[in-house]
Chains A and B, each alone.
With several copies, the nearest count.
Chain A
Amino acid sequence: MNVMYFAWVRERIGLPQEEVQTEAVTVADLVAELTAREDRYAAAFADTSALRVALDQELSDFDAPLAGVREVAFFPPMTGG
């Protein structure tokens, strides 16, 4: 599964994307798995209420299942316009 990070999430984790092998059932499971890896992940995911997640380029939420998903992206609330 391709996992992407944007804005300050990317800066905290230190990379824009990576291939992750995971058995995580939901987005929250994936976040827990990444958080357990290293401090930089824990720092990025410390407060998921300040984060957004997209599954295959559609906004989703942290309870969503990952079955069939190929691309997960984590980022702060958007500030376009």
Chain B
Amino acid sequence: MTVRVQAAAFDTGAELNAFVKDRTDVGAVVSFTGVVRDTDGTLHQMEIEHYPGMTERAIAEIVTQVQSRWALADVLVIHRHGILAVGAPIMMVATASAHRADAFAAADYLMDYLKSRAPFWKKETTADGTAWVAPKDEDEAALKRW
């Protein structure tokens, strides 16, 4: 298991390659990357605040949950904080398993929980000023799937 919470940018492709390098017991690798999206061409930047200490604890707990529910060879979580440019990766998860069903379900679950249970808050800056991103009802509802 690797969990990194960092201000620095990361290279999604390089991280994905390193994640399964030299392994022969893995048949299925799923990755999810969250990217700063400019919905209507007005976003200047995104800023992510987090709660140092609790963030790492909350993510470790979510990863422990997925490892107990699915047969996983490895799990990777990287989440940035600080100021991010449009188009930049915000975070990624990757799951490695013998079979694809476990890898898909674990990545999906990780994302649902990281979204609503890890202490990160997004603030968007547009020409109109700054606004905290509101949680979506569907994100809380998604947790009930599991």
Contact = CB atoms under 8 A, between A and B. Distances in A.
A/B contact in complex, CB under 8 angstroms? yes
Interface of A: 4, 6-8, 10, 54, 57-59, 73, 75-81
B49 A7 contact: yes
Q: How large is the interface on B (under 10, 10 to 19, 20 to 34, 35 or more residues)?
A: 20 to 34
Interface centre among A6, A7, A58, A81 (most CB of B within 10 A): A81
B115 A75 contact: no
A4 B79 CA distance: 21
7 contacts: A54-B54, A57-B53, A77-B116, A77-B135, A80-B50, A81-B91, A81-B118
A42 B117 CA distance: 26
B9 to A, nearest CB: 17
Contact of B120 (A4, A8, A10, A80): A80
Nearest to B27: A81
Given A6-B119, A7-B123, A59-B117, A78 B135 contact: yes
B94 interface: no
A71 to B, nearest CB: 9
